[in-house]
Amino acid sequence: MDYNSLVNTIESLPPLSNAATMIQKLYENGATEVNITKLVKLIESDAVLTANILKMINSPLYGFSRQIASVAQAVTLFGTELVYGLVIHYAINERMKANTDMFGVSPSIFNDVCHLQSSLVLQWYSKIDTRQAQFLAPLSLIMESGKLVMAEDVIHGNYVNEFKTQYEKAKDPLAYEDSIFGTSSYFVSGMLFEHWNLEPLYVEILKSLDYEPEFITNKVESYTHTLAVIKTAINPKEILTKQSVLKAARLVDEQGFDKDYFISVALRIKKAYIENLKK
């Protein structure tokens, strides 16, 4: 298990599903240029994808009060960018079914983490910059994908129990990932997105997430600052805990934004999540 084995794992992955690949081509000129009629028809041509999109978008985590009954309605209400994220999230999960228990969470909870991160971006950052929030929501939904690559590698290396024990003990999980693989799972997500020819700016943002500030370009700086807040508040080790929310709120304050508003949004999402778990 090392950096080279991660590269080999990624290079061995097959293309995304036909539906996902065709949908991705609609976004080649940006989300604002997507032909919505074609997008809806492509999603609806895959009954399983349609069912999963509607299931994901109707989650109480997104805070929408009405039931969304069709793909067209989902695109109208949530926009083409989040729908793109949902399609890619589902396609990645189809291709990579690695067990995430070694990160201290079941695959189901890992999936929840992804949706919670996306929801937090939408519900918090939209008040600051709606356009940036819409751009980052799909990235937040799929930015943990690198952990699935790492999980595959750990499983193949018969290192699951040792990795899980050390990961649970680690005060800095990303530093532990780096000690094993020579990089972080977010950088690996960037490599994965590059392999599948996903949004180039997403690739650059992910590969910059754990750089020292002086090495981050102006082009992605504000994006990395926003995602730093999200991954601090919500990650496999800390899902909107009191400590993680307060740590994230300090970052919000350092960035010159209203930390009290951020905390109120985070607690609202946490409440909805806990209530959903009880059902």
Provide the whole-model pTM: 0.89
Q: Whole-angstrom Cα distance, residue 272 to residue 274?
A: 6
Question: Residue 56 sits in which domain range?
Answer: 3-278
CATH number of the domain bearing residue 270: 1.10.3210.10
Residue written as token pair 């400590």: 243
The pair of structure tokens assigned to 33 is: 């240029």
Taking the mean position of all CA atoms in its chain, how far away is CA 271? 20
Q: Whole-angstrom Cα distance, residue 266 to residue 233?
A: 8
Whether 92 and 13 have beta carbons less than 8 Å apart is answered as: no
**How many folded domains does the chain comprise?**
1
| Per-residue tens of pLDDT for the chain, all 279 residues | 789 999 999 999 988 888 888 888 888 888 788 899 999 999 998 888 888 888 888 877 776 667 888 999 888 888 888 888 888 988 888 888 778 999 999 999 999 999 999 999 999 999 999 989 989 999 999 999 999 999 999 988 888 999 999 999 999 999 999 999 999 999 999 999 999 988 899 999 999 987 666 667 788 889 999 999 999 999 999 999 999 999 999 999 999 999 999 999 999 999 989 988 876
